[in-house]
Structure 1
Amino acid sequence: MPSIEQSTMAPYLGDNVDQEIETMCQSLQNSYALSPSDLFYKLESYRLELAGKSDISTVPVTKELLDDLRQKFQAQLERKQMKQRAASGANTQHGSSPAPGVTPAKRKFTASTTTLTPLKSSPLSEKNGTFATRTDAGKVLETLNGEIEIQLADVTSEKAKITAFMHIKKYQYRTMRQVLLEASEYLDERIERFADLVQEQLAEEIRKSDKPDEVLVTAVERLSNPAAITHDDVIVVGRIVSDSVHAADLSKVNETSVLLETSRRIGSGARVPLKLSLEPHTQGNHQGWFSLFPGQIVALRGCNPSGTTFIVREVLALPELPFAVSPLRTLHQTASLPTRMIIAKGPFSTHDDLAFAPLTELIDQSISAQADVVILLGPFIDTTHPLLVDPDALPYAGLNTLEDLFRASITAELRRLEAALPTVQTFLIPESGEREAVQRHVSFPCPPVGDAKKALGMPKRSKWLSNPAFVAVNSSVLAIANIDVLMQISKVEYLHRAGTNDIFERNILARAVKNLLQQRSLYPVFPGQPDIPLEVSYLGLAEMSVARPDILIVPSEQRYFAKVVDNVVAINPGALTKLRAAGTYAVVDIAPLQEAKNAIAASEETENELMFHKVWERCRVDIKKI
């Protein structure tokens, strides 16, 4: 083992490195047999992973960062040990074998005879009580609109009015039956829809202009084919693609690898290389910067004098979605009362335990806060949990299936929540992918958990929603996508910087949310990430086609946040658990809409008057430590 003099990190972190940081680095080296150079490379890799597209300097080396790195090392070590134990025990005989030719009877779960008695704590929980010994539980880490005073209505009243905007039957398609023709038709129709929107926007600009631009007039009549030879500027609409033939994680675009794919009608689906030769102060709303990623629909102004490369002079701003509105009569009935929501993203158990202590704490906080709505985002039973391979690690006796574990842990907590708050409404949204044990439909978009609902014993006021989901809570429209689209955009995005102090140029998360709103989709990236099977033909179910939502819930492995982007409240609650440590959740308070609260419907005409929801002005969000 290297000595302290040999283990110093000063050559890597600088001579002015804090002594406490140096001590923690030495502890990591001693615990995991790492040399200073090995630790430095792992530390830099972890910082790059957290920074995403931002500069690595935005992720300084702190005590908290080293604690997270230690947890990551420990989790990797435990997974390795679990695999070794599973491999060594695969051929080990437990108990007596049945007689030859006799098939052992399958154990069944019987609710009336099986007692779910908690057993001893999980074997790994004794080594590290990170969650149990936390000292900052309930700490507010970030607040949006902190000046809004929190008001609670009568807890006994039925105050949360829920309206769903999904056609559930459309989500219940059969997987592994994707037809390439249908997928290509959807991709082509998406370009055509944006082309129509761009033409309508240009026509509106011409009507408002005293001297309309000749290029705009031509574009309103007919958008041009970017593959055709043009010496004068024209306007084109298409999809950004990369010249890479690999998966989406390798399809990052840059100035030299970006292509524009046309629709069949305009350009026969041709792909044309783009050359970014932008004029100063002409990039979309004069903001000076823009971002590109595979799957993005863009409107460009430029020319193709050679017939081989389209020279981009300007990136046009796409038409924005209108704000959500409701009749004054409806808002007077629903938006005149305060609303409190609790939003949490799984996993709901730490990696060293399957007792679901974080979920129990979350339910306690929901009861204490008198929540009107609780939104839980999967995974609920994480198939990658290291203790699921060890039957002795299960916290209850008599569990034969993962559904039994769900019923014994999660369903029990939901029943306790409803017993304490008779008017609360809970929504569960499964995660798309292989991690969600209770969802048999792994593709995105995915339907609610249907056939397993009875087996899971869900209480009356707990409902499964599709992924993605569009619902209105007291007239506040929520769009929810339980898929890490923010991380995916940050991996493949190319940012053209202009050196401005614009928040969207500096903040990758705000920029990703803005891209979702501009693209009118909760998953605009194409191709998608390799670990999530996309049903391209049904991606229209993830589109925001009518109006922008009031609240956009986009859970991600990126840092938790609550921001107002284009008058939309965007929330990433973070994960409730992080390996063996406590995570975060979001508390959302929506104050009453005073215009609706004070309105007096003098006539039927006044009652039917449409009014903006203005949730961004009356919504407070607190990101809290569980």
Structure 2
Amino acid sequence: MARNAFEEALREEFSEANFVVEDDDVLEQCASMCVVYALKASDLVSSWEVFYLNRQLNDGKVSTAILPKFKAFLQEEQREALRSKSIDGLHSFSKIDDVDMLLNDEPELQETPPALRSASKCHSSPLGIRNVKLEAEFAVLACPKTPKTPAGPFGKSSSEGPRRKTEDSPLTPFARRLSKCTVQSIFNAELDEPSEEKVVPDTEDDVLRRLRPVERCHTEILSPFPKVGCRFMHDRLEDRFLSIEKRIKKFADALAVSERCKVTCNGAVATQEQIMVVGRICCDGEGHLNDKSVLLEGSVEFCGGQRVRLDLRNIPQLSLFPGQVVGVEGKNPSGHCLVASRIIDAIPCLASPEASEHQEPASKRRVLSQGEDVEMVSGIQQPITMLMAAGPYTANDNLFYEPLSDLLAHARRKRPRVLLLVGPFVDCDHPMIRDGLVDRTYEQIFQDEVKTRIEEYCQEVGDGAGVLIVPSTRDSHHDSVFPQPPYKRRGFDDPDKQITLLGNPSIFRCEDVTLGCTSMDILRHLSSEEMSRVPAGATSDRMTRLASHVIAQRSFYPLFPPPQGTCLDLSLTPEAVSVNQIPDILILPSDLAPFVKVLALPSYPQLASGAEELEAGESLPRNEQLTKCLCINPGRLTKGSSGGTFTELLVLPDTSSYEGCTAPPPVSSRSKVTIKRI
């Protein structure tokens, strides 16, 4: 069809639809759109009618001023059409190469450089209009792609090796980032590092330090977690009820011993006397907690789960969230409202896990080196050096995994004894994975991009360096349930047993330091649900307050009900979520800003074997003994298309036994934490 004939056809179609064309320039632009988007004149006018009605236009004129918005409307329409295009009964997502092939009617033989591709479009364009840059027109149709790998026998990309960023690939926003490896903050900066660590990078001393073998850090898992391959999301309403009921009863028993008073679980009984009631916080409605919507739900065993409204006017400082188990001291004169005078939200925990009578000190423990049992020669403990990071491990505009490569390169230079990697590794929220723009399975991506890099790091650093891996519920290739089983051991090439696969959450011990870690973003969840009150003129650290709830409630996830999309299974190894002792270091990766805080929590070691240890008339000192816990949020290794943060941890050995001190210093006072940008 000739150019003028095409324009006349458009004029007739617009006229039949009762639209007036402003001038010939409008017809020329509409004809260009028809060619670019492969539309007939009637199809374009039909799209204009839909656009006209959606925009609620009323002048009936096709003008030059409105054409740019109509063009954007056509692009959106084309994208939806290509995404829903069905091939052999299966839905597939088209990429920019597929669009080029459809418009050019040319088979896709190989990756064409952008310059040659644009030139070929100019020569093959009919009516002289195909000089329009199609990549710009269809840039919204697909996210940036990873480099292609050689095709397999069935047309699929080969998974023989990781798809790394090649030298011919353009620089990504992550590669062009500024402030690489800069220090954001240092906790306990006054602590001196070991003398062997004080070397200038890229010098002869640094090379010699790297050649020295790394002394393995003895790691012991203390908490249970679900087994690999377990069945999940089969919990019943009864399982959820029993889990909450158990928390209330445990809190009541601990509170009765620590407060030396009678504790009841029924606050709906009218009384003029001061009572101590234990229950969980609920919200009277679908919104967030406020002063008028706080309810206290008692135990089902003692009061049938009755709820009573809480009057908090006499409480100057508080921090409440749904699912929190608290003790409330107050009066209920009417039976309908409990007027609180004091709220107790912390359960006394054990200060540290009980050590075995026959357990050897860390300096005498045996380690596995090169397949043989070798006893440590030194009688003095070595400092613990740990590098920790939390996913995502790749930028959201590609799957090059450049942040992970840079992190492992930094670990090769620093040579920490422990490398802690917390998921997600194959993030389900990544745009390319969420939109289905990948040509590999999720397991292949994890194998090619993550496993291979970790195995290469272990082989290069030596069998003394250990790697701890914690999964995430955001991992596309793993079971999305909390608590979460560890990754499958098969597939890891780990002859020296350097890689330890942990569950989510986990409590483990490195030498004599106890650590707790979970990849669930409980801090962000609590932040959106918490109701707090601070007296006038007083200050309160919000991050410290949120992190303290994890240990005060003896649970890695005390929030209930959880936010939408959280796969919480309370019947699947409920002991895995419990925090039965205060760890020395608590690691809580979060989308919130990275931080290092010291939590001071009450602990009563004499409660370890029950209340029978108390003599007649003896009372427990209230909050007299405080145990300090170091809480670390390393942040995310990747923030969008740029770099995030990671954390270096140095724990100096406990020298109190050598210096004759009676009370050992807390781990928080002999730990140096550095938060750096990747």
Q: Give unpaired runs (5+ residues) of structure 1.
A: 1-77, 97-103, 204-215, 601-608
| Deviation by residue 1:50-95 (Cα, 9 ceiling, x = unmatched) | xxxxxxxxxxxxxxxxxxxxxxxxxxxx999987864469677887
Measured against aligned partners, the alpha-carbon deviations of 1:558-586 in whole angstroms (never above 9, x if no partner) come to: 11101111111111111101111110001
Aligned to 2:671: 619
Letter paired with 1:385: H
- CA deviation map 1:353-381 (0-9, x unaligned): 21111100000111111111111111101
Quote the Cα distance in structure 2 between the aligned partners of 1:257 and 1:538: 32
The code of the aligned residue for 2:344 comes to L
Compute the displacement of 1:343 (Å): 0.8
Q: Is the Cα contact below 8 Å between 2:551 and 2:579 reproduced in 1?
A: no
Residue from 278, 282, 291 that aligns with 1:241: 282
Deviations for 1:27-52, whole angstroms, at most 9, x for unmatched residues? Answer: xxxxxxxxxxxxxxxxxxxxxxxxxx
Q: Which residue among 638, 653, 678 is the counterpart of 1:592?
A: 653
Work out whether residues 324 and 613 of structure 1, in 8 Å CA contact, stay in contact via their aligned partners in 2. no
Give the structure 2 partner of residue 376 of structure 1.
421
- What is the rounded CA distance, in whole Å, between the counterparts of 1:493 and 1:192 in structure 2? 23
Does residue 1:571 correspond to 2:632, yes or no? yes
Letter in 2 for 1:307: G
State percent identity of aligned pairs. Answer: 26
CA distance in 2 between partners of 1:191 and 1:84 (Å): 54
Match of 1:196 in 2: 253
**Aligned position for 2:289:** 253
CA contact (8 A) 2:290 2:531 kept: yes
Map residues 388-427 of structure 1 onto 2, 5 A cutoff.
Answer: 388=433, 400-422=440-462, 423-427=464-468
> 1:356 is matched with which residue?
401
Query: In the alignment, is residue 148 of structure 1 matched against residue 191 of structure 2?
Result: yes
Report the TM-score, using the length of structure 1 for normalisation. 0.71
| Larger RCO of the pair (alpha carbons < 8 Å, separation 6+) | 1
Report the equivalent of 1:492. 529
Q: Would the aligned equivalents of 1:406 and 1:456 in 2 still touch at CA under 8 Å?
A: no
1:445–1:472 distance in 2 versus 1, CA, 3 Å: same
Give the alignment partner of residue 336 of structure 2, picking from 308, 316, 324. 308
* Matching residue of 2:542: 508
Shift of 1:138: 1.0
CA deviation digits over 1:194-253, x for unaligned, max 9?
0000000022xxxxxxxxxxxx4xx1xx52620101111111011001112x4xxx4x21
- Where in structure 2 are the equivalents of 1:484-563 lying within 5 Å? 484-502=521-539, 505=540, 507-538=541-572, 540-563=574-597
Equivalent in the alignment of 2:615: none
CA distance in 2: counterparts of 1:454 and 1:429, whole angstroms? 16
Decide which moves more: 78-87 or 233-242.
78-87
The secondary structure found in structure 2 opposite 1:587 is strand
- Please state whether the residue corresponding to 1:355 is helix, strand or coil: coil
1:61-460 superposed matches below 5 A: 86-87=83-84, 114=160, 118=164, 126=170, 129-151=172-194, 156-169=213-226, 173-203=230-260, 216=261, 219=262, 222-223=263-264, 225-244=266-285, 246=286, 250=287, 252-278=288-314, 288-316=316-344, 318-324=346-352, 330-333=361-364, 336-388=381-433, 400-422=440-462, 423-432=464-473, 435-439=474-478, 441-450=479-488, 453-455=489-491, 460=497
2:5 maps to none
Tell me the distance in 1 between the aligned counterparts of 2:304 and 2:76.
50
Q: Which amino acid aligns with 1:296?
A: Q
CA distance in 1, matches of 2:311, 2:184: 43
Matches of 1:585 and 1:85 in 2, distance apart? Answer: 40
Contact 2:634 2:645 in 1 (8 A): yes
Indicate if the aligned counterparts of 2:554 and 2:580 stay in contact, CA closer than 8 A. Answer: no
8 Å CA contact retained: 2:225, 2:573: no
CA drift of 1:500 comes to 4.3
Structure-1 separation of matches of 2:528 and 2:516: 23
CA distance change for structure 1 residues 137 and 85 in 2, over 3 Å: closer, same or farther? farther
Distance in 1, Cα, partners of 2:334 & 2:534: 27
> CA separation in 2, counterparts of 1:82 and 1:598?
72
Check the 8 A contact 1:323/1:612 in 2, yes or no: no
Q: Where does structure 2 lack aligned partners over 5 or more consecutive residues?
A: 1-74, 102-106, 109-151, 198-208, 366-379, 601-627
Distance 2:435 2:346 in 1: 53
Aligned residues: 486
What is the deviation of 1:424? 1.1
Q: Which structure has the larger Rg over C-alpha atoms?
A: 2
**What's the offset of the Cα at 1:275?**
1.0
Where does 1:25-36 land on structure 2 (aligned, <5 Å)?
A: none
Normalising by structure 2, what TM-score?
Answer: 0.66
* Residue identity matched to 2:449: S
Checking the alignment, whether the CA contact within 8 Å between 2:482 and 2:567 is kept in structure 1 is yes
334-343 or 457-466: bigger deviation = 457-466
Aligned residues: CA RMSD: 3.3
**How far apart are 1:319 and its partner, in Å?**
3.7
8 Å Cα contact 2:252-2:278 kept in structure 1? yes
Q: Distance in 2 between matches of 1:330 and 1:565?
A: 27
